[in-house]
């Protein structure tokens, strides 16, 4: 099969003008490879091709104004390509996509001011992207996220004055990250933390800040 695919690629690469003879070929792989070489007016005729491999190539090649044709495609990879190519201001049409990977692509490219709607997304990876991109002043939206790795991202990005909000986090690794950035007043509390690693780093940083102040 791979050998046959390579032969088809070589054929169309050598004779791209012949691709117009294959856009309705009964063999999906010939249609898919032909789509790489077809002029746009032929691509438009193929927008409803029954094979997902063909539609993946179409989603990659068609003009941006045609992309919404594939916004509800049954194939995830087609919708991922749409999310990767759509102008950012149009991405919200995919913000409720049933597949997490599509929503991850949306979260990566959505204008920062529109990220709030994804802060409560059901998928951890989507929320992680939000935590990495959301404005610093809005990080409190994710301060109680159920995933500790996301809460760690939050405390790594938070303004130092806001770390107080998370000093009682149930996960010691989150409190450890707080101790790495906290100011003197908060460190004075963290030296009594229930976790040894948190106490140690709080004590070390308290000593360092005291030395620096002298």
In a domain, 19, yes or no: yes
Query: Tens digit of pLDDT for each residue in 190-204?
Result: 999 999 999 999 999
- Cα distances from 62 to residues 11, 24, 95, 162, 178, in angstroms, run 22, 17, 22, 47, 48
In a domain, 31, yes or no: yes
pTM for the whole structure = 0.88
State both tokens at 74.
């049954």
In a domain, 37, yes or no: yes
Mean pLDDT value of segment 176-182: 97
Which residue is associated with the tokens 């109680």? 144
pLDDT band at 3; cut points 50, 70, 90: very low
Query: Tens digit of pLDDT for each residue in 32-45?
Result: 999 999 999 999 99
User: How far from chain centre, in Å, is Cα 10?
Assistant: 35
CA distance 15 to 21: 11
Which residue is associated with the tokens 């809460």? 151
In a domain, 38, yes or no: yes
In a domain, 48, yes or no: yes
In a domain, 1, yes or no: yes
Which residue is associated with the tokens 């997490």? 100
The domain total for the chain is 1
In a domain, 4, yes or no: yes
């Amino acid at each position: 099969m791979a050998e046959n695919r390579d032969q088809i690629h070589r054929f169309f690469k050598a004779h791209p003008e012949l691709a117009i003879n294959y856009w309705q070929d009964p063999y999906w792989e010939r249609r898919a490879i032909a789509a790489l070489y077809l002029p746009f007016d032929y691509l438009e005729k193929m927008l409803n091709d029954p094979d997902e491999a063909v539609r993946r190539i179409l989603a990659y090649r068609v003009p941006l104004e045609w992309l919404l044709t594939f916004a509800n495609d049954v194939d995830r990879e087609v919708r991922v390509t749409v999310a990767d190519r759509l102008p950012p201001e149009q991405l919200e049409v995919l913000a409720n996509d049933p597949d997490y990977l599509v929503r991850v692509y949306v979260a990566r490219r959505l204008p920062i001011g529109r990220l709030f709607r994804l802060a409560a997304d059901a998928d951890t990876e989507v929320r992680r992207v939000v935590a990495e991109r959301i404005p610093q002043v809005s990080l409190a939206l994710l301060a109680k996220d159920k995933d500790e790795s996301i809460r760690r991202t939050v405390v790594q990005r938070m303004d130092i004055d806001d770390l107080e909000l998370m000093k009682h986090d149930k996960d010691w690794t989150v409190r450890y990250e707080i101790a790495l950035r906290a100011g003197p007043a908060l460190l004075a509390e963290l030296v009594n933390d229930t976790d040894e690693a948190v106490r140690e780093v709080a004590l070390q940083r308290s000593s360092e800040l005291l030395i620096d102040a002298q």
